[in-house]
C-alpha cells in the first residue's frame, strides 16, 4: 500500500485544500451546493470510517440530484472491480 500512497503523494496538498473547510465536524452549509443540479453519485466503502460515511451521506443530501451508494466490504480505497459496476449502472441511465 505504501507504494500506492507514495505515487499519489504529490496530490495531497490539493486534496487538503479542497476538503479543508469541510472536515471539521460541522454540518455542511445548506446552500453551499444549491446550484449543483447535475446528476451526482456519492459513493463510499462499507468499511470506511463512520465519520467519512456520514460526510458522504450529508453531501448527497445537500445536492439536488444526488444518489448515495455504499460498496459493502470496501474500504476508503475502493477497488476498481467493485467500483466499476456501480459507475456503469449510474451512467447508463
Domain membership of residue 25 (yes or no) is: no
Domain range for 75 is 35-81
Give the chain's mean pLDDT. 87
**What share of the chain has pLDDT > 90, as a percent?**
38
Confidence of residue 16 (pLDDT cuts 50, 70, 90): confident
Domain membership of residue 47 (yes or no) is: yes
What's residue 42's pLDDT? Answer: 95
| CA 93 – CA 90 distance, rounded (Å) | 6
Domain membership of residue 61 (yes or no) is: yes
Confidence of residue 31 (pLDDT cuts 50, 70, 90): confident
Q: What is the pLDDT of residues 61-74, one digit of tens each?
A: 889 999 999 999 99
69 or 16, which is more confident?
A: 69
Amino acid at each position: 500500500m505504501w507504494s500506492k500512497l507514495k505515487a499519489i503523494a504529490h496530490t495531497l496538498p490539493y486534496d487538503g485544500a479542497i476538503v479543508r473547510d469541510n472536515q471539521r465536524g460541522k454540518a455542511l452549509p445548506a446552500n453551499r451546493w444549491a446550484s449543483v443540479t447535475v446528476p451526482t453519485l456519492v459513493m463510499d466503502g462499507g468499511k470506511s470510517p463512520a465519520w467519512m460515511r456520514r460526510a458522504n451521506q450529508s453531501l448527497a443530501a445537500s445536492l439536488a440530484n444526488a444518489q448515495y451508494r455504499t460498496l459493502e466490504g470496501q474500504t476508503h480505497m475502493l477497488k476498481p472491480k467493485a467500483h466499476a459496476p456501480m459507475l456503469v449502472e449510474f451512467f447508463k441511465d
